[in-house]
Amino acid sequence: MDIPRIFTITESAHRIHNPFTPEKLAALGAALRLEAGTRVLDLGSGSGEMLCTWACDYGITGIGVDLSRLFSQQAQLRAEELGVADRVEFIHGDAAGYIADDKVDVAACLGATWIGGGVAGTIELLAKSLRHDGIILIGEPYWLRVPPTEDVARNCQAGSIADFLPLPELIASFDGLGYDLVEMVLADQEGWDRYEAAKWLTMRRWLKANPDDGMAKEVRSQLTSEPVRYAAYTREYLGWGVFALMAR
C-alpha cells in the first residue's frame, strides 16, 4: 500500500509537500493560538513537518496518517530530530475513513482533500474526529485567475476548471457547508517556487544516481518540461491556502 512512486522520487527531499514555507506553517500555528496539549489530527500528514514543528514550538500532541511509507518514515525521523517523538505519532496507512479514537481539538487535511472525496467530504470526515467547537483545517488550491480554457486548467495539473474555485467562491462554499471561516493563511509565489522548483534538483540528482531505473525516462521528461509548464501555468493561475473552520 503506497502512493505512486513518481511522488516519492520528486518529493523525497521535501519537508513540506505543499506551497507553504516553514514561515507560513509557523504563522498558521501562531494564528490558531495553539496551546500546550492541544490535540491535532493530520490526514495526509506527509513528512510530518506540521505536527513536528508545532509539537516543538507550541507543545501540541498529534497523530498523522499517511499512505506513503517513505514520507511516514521521514516524519518519524523528523520527530526524533526535533525531540518530540513522545508527542507525535505517525501511522502509515490509508486515511480515507480514518476516525481518531479520542476526539481532537484540531483536525487537518492539507493538500490531500481527495482523501474524503473533495473539500466537503473531507470536512465531514474530519468532523467525526473533532470535539465540539474544535477547528478544522483544510489546505486547498484555488484559482488566482480562472483559466480561460480547459487546456490551461490541465496545464495547471487540474482535471478541469471545475476542480477548483476562485478564492471568494471557495470561502463562500464553507459558509454553505455551515462553517465559519475563522482564520486563513495563504501561500504566495515564493512558496510555490519552494514546492515546485525543489523537485527539479531532486529529479536531477535522482537521475544521476539511477540512470537505469524504469522511471528514468519519465523523470527525465518531467525535468525537461516542468520548469516552463510551472512558470507559464501553475505559478500564474493557482493559489493555495489553509482555511480554519468552526461549525456554526
For ligand SAH, which residue of 17, 24, 39, 78 counts as binding (CB under 6 A)?
A: 17
Nearer CB in complex with ligand SAH: 66/196: 66
Can residue 95 be called a binding residue for ligand SAH (CB under 6 A)?
yes
Closest contact distance (angstroms) between CB of 85 and ligand SAH is 18
Determine the residue type at 164: F
The residue whose grid cell reads 514543528 is 53
Beta bridge partners of 130: 104
Binders of ligand SAH in range 44-73 (CB under 6 A) = 44-46, 49, 65-68, 71
| First CA to last CA distance, the chain | 37
Nearer CB in complex with ligand SAH: 146/200: 200
The answer to whether 40 and 108 have CB atoms below 8 angstroms apart is yes
The answer to whether 66 and 46 have CB atoms below 8 angstroms apart is yes
Binders of ligand SAH in range 105-134 (CB under 6 A) = 110-112, 115
The residue whose grid cell reads 476526539 is 103
Can residue 140 be called a binding residue for ligand SAH (CB under 6 A)?
no
What is the helix (H) or strand (E) element at residue 27, kind and residue range? helix 22-31
Which positions touch ligand SAH (CB under 6 A)? 3, 16-18, 44-46, 49, 65-68, 71, 94-96, 110-112, 115
